[in-house]
């Protein structure tokens, strides 16, 4: 069932890491994934709704879903 691409897996792995600040994370996104941060977050948001991502990294996906929902509720 785990048919995620290598890029999708790398995005989920990156979200499991901690960074000293947003600049450090954006630098890693550009250098390791070759993506603009905006595109990275678009792909990440789509992954949060993908059952394959949930099966691959349930803790990370559920944590990010909770954050996304709390931000939506604030609006």
Is-contact 11 33, C-beta < 8 A? yes
Q: What number of residues does the chain have?
A: 75
> In a 3-state reduction of DSSP, which class is residue 50?
coil
Annotated domain spans of the chain? 6-74
User: Considering the entire predicted model, what is its pTM?
Assistant: 0.88
Residue 30 DSSP code:
I
Tens of pLDDT, residues 43-74: 999 999 999 999 999 999 999 999 999 988 88
User: What whole-number distance in Å separates Cα of residue 9 and Cα of residue 70?
Assistant: 24
Cα separation, 1 vs 68, in Å, equals 25
């Amino acid at each position: 069932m785990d048919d995620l691409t290598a890029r999708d897996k790398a995005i989920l792995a990156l979200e499991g890491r901690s960074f000293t600040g947003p600049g450090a994370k954006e630098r890693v996104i550009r250098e390791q994934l070759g993506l603009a941060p905006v595109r990275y977050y678009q792909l990440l948001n789509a992954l949060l709704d993908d059952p394959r991502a949930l099966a691959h990294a349930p803790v990370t996906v559920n944590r990010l879903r909770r954050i996304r929902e709390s931000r939506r509720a604030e609006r």
